[in-house]
Each structure stands twice: as C-alpha cells, then as structure tokens.
Amino acid sequence: MEYTIENEILKISVETLGAQLSSIYSKKTETEYLWQGDGKYWKGRAYNLFPYVGRFYDGKYSVYGKEYEMDRHGFARGSEFVLREKTENSLTFTISATENTLTEYPFEFIFSVKYLLTDNKLRVLYTVENVGDKAMYFGLGGHPGFNVPFGGGEFEDYFVEFEKECKPIRILANEKGLITSERAEMDLQDGKKIELRHCLFDEDAIIMETECRAVSIKSGNTVNSVKVTFPQMPYLGIWHMPKTDAPYICIEPWLTLPSNDGKVEELETKTNVGICKVGEVYENYFDIQINE
C-alpha cells in the first residue's frame, strides 16, 4: 500500500513494503526527483537499511557466541511495515521482531521510519528501540536513488558537490562488496566536486568516510539541485548499478559499514556498529532538500 503527504511545494509518496520512498515530486516544476525503479538497472527506489548495511563475509555473522546468516542490507527493505501514524505533514512506519526475524537477528526490537515534510525538505528519521533483555548491535543507513538527469542535459553534465572543501577518505571494497584495509584520499575537483561518469561505478559503490556531512547533486545546465544532509552518519556511499549507463545515482548516508573480508565478524567487537542498550531508543536521520 502507498501513502502520500504533500504541501504547496512537494508531494511525497511512501510504500509500506520496506517503508520505501516511492516519489519525491515537485509541484512547481512537475519534476520527479526519485528514481522510479527499473529491473534493467535497479528495481529499488530508496531502501532503508536495517539491521545491517551491505554484506557479511560469507553471508554470516556471530553475536553472543552464536552464528547467524543474513542477506545483503538486512531484512527491513523486504518487510511489510505498518503505518503507525499519519499527520498532515508526516508518515511513520514500524516493524518489530517476529519469529522469522529472530532466526537471523536474535534481538527484540522496534524499528521505525518517519518521513517529515517541511517546505522543500524531507526528513527521514530512523528510530531503533531495544525492547529485549540484552544489548543490541545493529547497522543502519539510507539508500535513496535520484534521477540523473533531472533538469535537462545528460548524466555527464551533473556532479556531486560537498557543501565545503574537504578531504573524504575512500574506503576500498573488493569485488564481493566487503571492506578491505585499503584507504585513499579522494581527489575532488576544486576540493569538493565529483564529476559524474558512468565508469566511476564500474567497481561498485564509492564508499567514503567524511567529516563534511552534506552533498548536492547539481548541473551547470539547471538551477535545480538535490541536497542530502546527514549530520550524524560518518559514512557516505555513492552508487549506481556497475558497468551500466544507469540514469540515476544513489546518495547513501550510513551509520555503519559492510563487513571486513576474510572472517566471520563478531558484532560485539566490530569497530563500526550501532549499539542500543536494554530499554534504550536510538535515533538518527538524514534530510533530502529539493532546491529549484
């Protein structure tokens, strides 16, 4: 099922499957900014990644002395959420632990995704609540895709621009999508730009650790832009389907990283992992701003 909120500027639609954004539509310019999914490239639109980001080594992880299996990006994206609350400018969706989730993730949890629309900005707020009897370890992130181009021109006319000059560190992954020990400083044009070329993604996502927590998709051919701000998420992925001419990119704010290659990781000792103690509630968010 799909639900919609809107104001005089934007119309936002969200599906209950995965609590996934299905539309970010500008009323002013009659422009659809969100990638609409295409099996030729990527059928998703804006996955919510929980309780893990990316892959586990060999598809497995260990926690509290027991081994479990989990698919890439966790199970939230394939789960049917319940609409918990709808207001004039917000939608809140929730899932909680079930017998099925406990077989791959042994924690009692409530996971909520709230969409809050204010003027030309959409906030995506994640809430993780530990309702079990032991500390809970988790991964978390966003995966929204945006049409490129969205204001005329070609894909190569667009660029991703950090809000200010910075030196993000690229984290190299291997062909399996697992993190390696290799790191490299990103070479940004003018200290803050990544010119978009399809070949950038031939080896999969560009994964970065960055202190600059705001990026925009822009073009010299249009005043329109998409800005994604993620103040509390240290990692950023930029991606489209490798070795294709896909007309979109994903801007992915992450709290955590995929697993390291070479061993089944223990969540308790993983260096980048979310922790929610018994009875605690953890919140994080990112904003999508449409500028025209």
pLDDT digits (tens, 9 = 90+) for 228-246: 999 999 999 999 999 999 9
Q: Is the pLDDT of residue 279 over 90?
A: yes
φ, ψ for residue 195, nearest 5 deg = -70, 130
Q: Is the pLDDT of residue 143 over 90?
A: yes
Q: Are strands 10-15 and 21-26 parallel, antiparallel or unpaired?
A: antiparallel
pLDDT tier at 152, thresholds 50, 70, 90: confident
Q: What is the four-CA torsion angle of 251, 256, 257, 261, rounded to 10 degrees?
A: -170
* Mean predicted lDDT score pLDDT of the chain: 97
Q: What is the pLDDT of residue 192?
A: 96
**Residue closest to 252 by CA, chosen among 230, 279, 274, 223:** 230
pLDDT digits (tens, 9 = 90+) for 6-51: 999 999 999 999 999 999 999 999 999 999 999 999 999 999 999 9
Q: Is the pLDDT of residue 276 over 90?
A: yes
Domain assignments of the chain as residue spans, ordered by start: 2-291
CA distances from 106 to 29, 189, 211, 226 (A): 47, 45, 33, 38
CA–chain centroid gap for 278, Å, is 26
Distance CA 55, CA 179 (A): 9
CA distances from 231 to 6, 173, 210, 250 (A): 25, 24, 10, 18
**pTM for this prediction:** 0.97
Q: What is the pLDDT of residue 160?
A: 98
pLDDT tier at 151, thresholds 50, 70, 90: confident
Secondary element (H or E) of residue 104:
helix 99-104
Mean pLDDT of 80-89: 98
Distance CA 135, CA 59 (A): 22
Determine the straight-line distance between the first and last CA of the chain, rounded to whole angstroms: 30
Share above pLDDT 90 across residues of the chain, in percent, rounded to a whole number: 97
pLDDT digits (tens, 9 = 90+) for 178-225: 999 999 999 899 999 999 999 999 999 999 999 999 999 999 999 999
pLDDT digits (tens, 9 = 90+) for 116-142: 999 999 999 999 999 999 999 999 999
Sequence length of the chain is: 292
Structural fold of domain 2-291: Beta-galactosidase; Chain A, domain 5 (2.70.98)
